[in-house]
Structure 1
Amino acid sequence: MSGGRRASAAAPGVAVPMRTMVVWCPDWPVTAMAAVAGVDPAHPIAVIEKDLVHACSATARAEGVRRGLRVREAQARCPQLVVLELDQVRVDRAFEPLIAALEDLSPGVQVVRSGVCALRSRGPARYYGSERRAAAAFLERLAMLGAPDARVGVSDGLFAADIAARLPLPGDDRIRVVPAGEAGAFLAGLPVQFTGDDELVGLLVRLGVRTLGDFAAIPAEDVRARFGEVGARAHLRASGSEGTAVVPRVPPELREVVSEFEPPLDRVDQITFGIRAASDRFVDDLREARLVCTAVRIELTAETGRMRERVWLHPRWFTASDVVDRVRWQLQGGGTIDDGLEAPVARVRIAAEAVDASIHHETGLWGTGSDERVHHALSRVQSMVGHEGVLTAVIGGGRGLAERQRLTPWGDRPDAMGGVQVGRSAAASGAGERTPQLLPARPTGATAGAERTPPWPGSLPPPVPTTVFAQLMPVLVEDAAGDTVDVTDRGEATAHPALFSPGTARSELRPVAAWAGPWPVSERWWDAEGRRSYARFQVVDADGDAWLLRVEQGRWSAEARYD
């Protein structure tokens, strides 16, 4: 191999690459769809998606058909081409028996995509005697299931192992084992197109970097500075130092339990009692697999055939009693514990929507202190008063501060619009600016999420006030002559705010020490009936109190106060 350095060891601070075994079934979409259509896989076949070739058989490639071609161009190159429409569900379903066979031979199989699986090679190599013997055992089982052309690649890291499985081998050999520590040398002579990132490849080629070895020879610091995180990850793969670990899939049988009732039950308490044993089994099976469930899907099928389903989340993880509570809350959407349901329930299915390794949720040596006590207390109250009975405050979306206050049931995911609170500052406004922003921009709990959210034009810039009034409080704002200050259609103040009163009594007017604004806000401008326009000001009175004010059609009100 020419060009580049040999990555015999990981760079300092980089995870040591894991010996990985990749099992690849060539042209699996073609094999699966040909079996569905009853077509001989040896025939020229193209599986298309959105009028483009998604995959093609070896005989079709021999005629010039390539992935990404339009159907007409592919048929022009190969007139006898058989065109099949991609059905990803059927492709995945056809691959399931092969995954199950690999799991029988060795646990811990990660499904990369349909036709490609990855395993940690250490366990199979110790059991079968070597990595090559383990790969031969896998290929023998897959050949019995209708995948005689499967190949296996073994190397340091998932990227190198995947390429080792895909590169052609001499003769009938279908196993390539790259010795430990030689992944960098194995990859060095391959073109940079193997990185799979078209934009990165274009930049590298224009810079004269043609092979993975040339790319790996560039210092990692220079790659990160020039190409960012995407380039840094590609550089690790190219040098054979990839630290990506194999993440085994969760076997489907551990993810769900089904309870069927004959005859169907029409009372909430009867159903929850009937699914209690299934809930215990559901949680115990996950525990034995060293997993916890963080999101559960519950499907209720009525006697009439109507099905209601919902995904429930949990702040930590589900216990058996938590699952029973969610079933009860979902049932109570159509009745109470004493009332009959709309229709008797014939089937309850409980499925894990999201799972995580239990090691990530282990309690610390001294417990979790107050957090754990708060969680147990809120969960117990919620189990008694219902799902909507315990609410927690989250930051929501909206231009007004009161609109941002959202109450979400304990354990539910916050509103997808939450935390959108980035807007124009006084310096950016331009119109009517008289002083810099009154308060220093300091991080607060309310603005921490806003810094990570997309901008929302017209929203309040940080820092946000600490006291938000439930209802707008009428105030007075006048100029030096005693006239009410207003905002023109062009978003400019008619005069300098000189006097301010926190109420409507003129006797309480006090001088304005500083002010900033206005910041115009236009809501629902496209709706003739619901449109609304107003402007915001920041005002500091003579006592040093800072206020967030708004003026709408000449009427002033206080929205919040900076304490």
Structure 2
Amino acid sequence: MPDWPVVAVLGAEPDPGRVAAVVERGRILAATDAARAAGVRRGQKLRSAQAAVAGLEVYDRSVDDEAKMFEAVADAVGALAAHLEVVRPGLLAVAAVGAARFHGGEEPLAEKVVDAVEATGHVCRVGIADGLVAAQLAARAQRVVPAGESARFLAPFPVAELGDGRLTDLLGRLGVVTVGQFAALPAASVADRFGAAGAAVHRLARGLQARPVVARPPGGDLAVEERFEEPYLLAEPLVFAARGLAERLHAGLAGAGLACERVEIEVECADGTSASRAWRHEGLLSTSAVAERVRWQLQAWQHRQVFAESAGGVTVLRLVPDGLVRDPGRQLSLADGDREATARAERAVARVQAILGHSAPVTVDLAGGRAPDDRVVRTPWGDAHQERRADGPWPGRLPAPSPTHVPAVPVAVRLLDANGHDIEVTARAEVRSAPARLVLPGGAVRVAGWAGPWPEQERWWDPAEARRTARMQVVADDGRALLLAVTGGHWSVEGDYDT
């Protein structure tokens, strides 16, 4: 389903001239046709897109809305195939062999899928090939790749299409830029150099499954379920139970030395009715990935018959693993441990961003500037930091060291000479008399030493916005070292130094 994040935000038939995009972590995730025609590209930084396209409408991604709207599409396609898998909202995978035999061939099946989806009011693309990666690329081109030809079909694509960013970067430095070049490497050499993860991607490049599927262990029931004494008519209580179920599921898989590529989410209602949906992941489903997909599916079912009062409420939530593979395990280095912690932190911040808005959580970096607060750049999480060279020429900037503490709002004070007159800084950046006393909100202190002033004149070409500031470093007789600034004849504390 092309640009499904945009469809979920704007509706199935948005204004064709609407220039809009959906962002995730500061980058363009999807855009309307009009926005792409104006130069907006997937993966582009938000600020770059806004600079290039005036009036760009920007929306934060809502995976929950995407899953809810996609449920109707999944139902329509499910009427044509006995078993389908939701890879993510906007992407479905169907086992084509049985369905194609029933509907008279692969091309008739593709046509019927298109018709069924269009009946829901949406546009889709269908591709058929061996393997999920090849099928996704075939769907972009709306092609049916003959059986056994997936490796040849994949060969001219860049290795980035295989989905492993770190491996793609490394292969590029080694001169391997296409899927065909990577597939031509000996499998044993790839496994030696890139490990189990690289071997799995190499299998994809050859048109195979990432990992050989293994049979379920004899006598081993790996499904987990939770039965509720009180039926639930809302999805939220079940979402909390889903996390514990996901952990139990992975504990059972780990005990058997297995992992899963698919998970079947099943619910049973008090009146005996049930519903199920299979979710797939491009890699192995982690505990967090399983819990997240259960949440998406439950919220998609919230407004359907599953949670209707006539059904009596949900009494059972069950997770059934499928697509079982041998868990290759991994040996983590210290750096790998740090990356995993970083990934967990990124997921947490992304959830905060989804709740509070894109610009709520920020990262902080130091850049060039004159005033202490100017050098602190706050950037929305995921956006590129503002590039201001710290070593560039900044006339009027403070000498080292920088203040240790900078108040959120400058504190108003008075700087006086020995006669009690306010200290003034002339146009030549000179003081008319030496500072002798500093009047702070808590009382007055004697000035034991001072340095400066350092003048700063900004936007001198714009009378309405022009500002002239001078700063001084002052040491009080009680040992405090302060940074003072005067603007328009008024002094304030901009920071203090540890002494």
TM-score (ref. length: structure 1): 0.41
Larger Rg: 1
TM-score (ref. length: structure 2): 0.46
